[in-house]
Structure 1
């Protein structure tokens, strides 16, 4: 999903611009770098199977005691060569941090994944021997801010998360998927703890999310009420008519591609759902619910490696990113 953004900085804040040192060679001179560093060369990756013979491949069950997702989630250190803006409120210094055990995660794992053309939903296909959905599941489970994970999935796949939850320290709940995405999110939202201060919604088909990006978007949501990870659009985007003729070329300087997590304060989320459900509105992502309230949504700059695995090519790309990160030759 694309969104237009006119300004990233609040008018009433002071801004510190820091030029971060390059963690890679010239950013665009070597595409094989994939915009990240190999920070843990000691890790090795096992070959992936694209056509599992059973619903969940045997190798992943043997890894639950030492989940690969936890290791991967916290040893990745991708660093982009860019200018970073640190925003500080006037007279307040650093912003208040998100409290420990104050965030409920709604992990969406109920999609069908028809574009993948596989015998099971895409989020349960093995990625280097582990179901795709467990990568982000383990990442969230090891974050101090997270108190619980509400998994929205078909009951026949609950055992995947129940087996994995033996090694985590956060609560786990389940909710049924709905007909549309917003229905699934609503079902998950209904199960969250009443004392949670933030709701973090994530697509389980995005396995490469990093704790660093999650923390950033959580902080921005705490400050602004709602925030979403996004990346600036690189390609030229054109608007076309029904006959496939170009109407106009959009200014990509104001366009952002939306990702997840999308983080919202519960009271704001609840009010948005009441409006959407009452008026029968359809939304394609979670912060759109808040947009209908005319409440501003902050875009937190994320990482281009936070891809959504929806096609076989996406799966190959995710494998390549993880293998390169682990120091395995292409």
Structure 2
């Protein structure tokens, strides 16, 4: 996979072809028309995703080498094509990135500490990783002034430690990497601002990374993506069938990640996500097809969306 980049003067404009209001959020699993929903089959059930979840929410886009997205049914065939043991893997180190300021939330504290369903956003993914068998280290990249808020979990779970946030994402990941064991089997990097990732997604991505060396959760792009050189007029439309919206976790073998960091430093490169480091070697990165519900909390309107997804999950579990 290759990172899709534009020059400094180039911007990507994402045009949403279908819109839904937040008031319809709670019913997002009920299909209305083929144009506003996409069917994604998992091993246990079929799921649908509304247009309002199609906005860009990942750190970047990649051009995959696994074949083109063919629309309805394509994701399920891609998901089924790999060896999906979805079993726990021994000795996995997690780097949980929670050092962002989150200025776009316009809140009185960083977004990862805002409450979602009675607990901070950060706690949702942290508690999930704490439950996953095989996770032996959890490095939370977080500013020192916020660490006391996690005292209750750090006292009872010796696997948890802290690392300093860096100036850029890659610096934060590098700092977190220094707190992991050299012989750990996998490094699992996750954004604390993605509280809705599922255990199934994590285990699938872990198994892909174990087999291929590096793997990333992603979903096929639903929006039409256009390129503009001046920010005023469209230059061209980019072929959507080859584009993927990248999520986290991004999971990499430690030796490969360290080699990638060495290459990035030698070339003085800035990268926006973790597998971009691996692309510089170059080395293959496996795409693990994820769920559209793994949204990144970035702006205020994402909060009611996240609450609705959690409510829908509770309803489905109760049924």
Note whether the superposition's TM-score is higher than 0.5: yes
Partner of 1:291: 279
Give 3-state SS (helix, strand or coil) of 2:293's partner. Answer: coil
Partner of 2:290: 302
Taking a change above 3 Å as real, the CA distance of residues 218 and 27 of structure 1, as seen in their structure-2 partners, is farther
Distance 1:236 1:26 in 2: 23
Q: Which runs of 5+ in 1 are unaligned?
A: 5-23, 37-76
Partner of 2:235: 247
Of residues 106, 110, 121 in structure 2, which corresponds to 1:132?
Answer: 121
1:204 matched to 2:200:
no
Distance 2:231 2:89 in 1: 52
Taking a change above 3 Å as real, the CA distance of residues 316 and 231 of structure 1, as seen in their structure-2 partners, is same
Partner of 1:114: 103
Aligned residues: 262
Distance 2:219 2:36 in 1: 20
Partner of 1:323: 311
Partner of 2:246: 258
1:35 Cα deviation (Å)?
Answer: 7.9
Give 3-state SS (helix, strand or coil) of 1:185's partner. Answer: helix
Distance 1:314 1:280 in 2: 34
1:98 Cα deviation (Å)?
Answer: 5.4
1:315 Cα deviation (Å)?
Answer: 1.1
CA RMSD of aligned residues (A): 2.9
Taking a change above 3 Å as real, the CA distance of residues 277 and 88 of structure 1, as seen in their structure-2 partners, is closer
Partner of 1:80: 47
Q: Which runs of 5+ in 2 are unaligned?
A: 5-27, 49-72
Partner of 1:142: 131
Partner of 1:162: 151
1:30 Cα deviation (Å)?
Answer: 9.6
Distance 1:282 1:252 in 2: 25
Taking a change above 3 Å as real, the CA distance of residues 286 and 273 of structure 1, as seen in their structure-2 partners, is same
1:174 matched to 2:162:
yes
Distance 1:35 1:129 in 2: 31
1:199 Cα deviation (Å)?
Answer: 0.1
8 Å CA contact 1:143, 1:211 repeated in 2: yes
Of residues 151, 155, 164 in structure 1, which corresponds to 2:140?
Answer: 151
8 Å CA contact 1:106, 1:199 repeated in 2: yes
Give 3-state SS (helix, strand or coil) of 2:80's partner. Answer: strand
Distance 1:324 1:96 in 2: 24
Taking a change above 3 Å as real, the CA distance of residues 120 and 279 of structure 1, as seen in their structure-2 partners, is same
1:99 matched to 2:89:
yes
Q: What CA deviation, in whole Å up to 9, does each residue of 1:296-324 have, x standing for no partner?
A: 11111100000000110011111121123
Residue pairs, 1:25-64, within 5 angstroms: 27-29=31-33
Taking a change above 3 Å as real, the CA distance of residues 34 and 133 of structure 1, as seen in their structure-2 partners, is farther
Larger radius of gyration: 1
Distance 2:255 2:164 in 1: 22
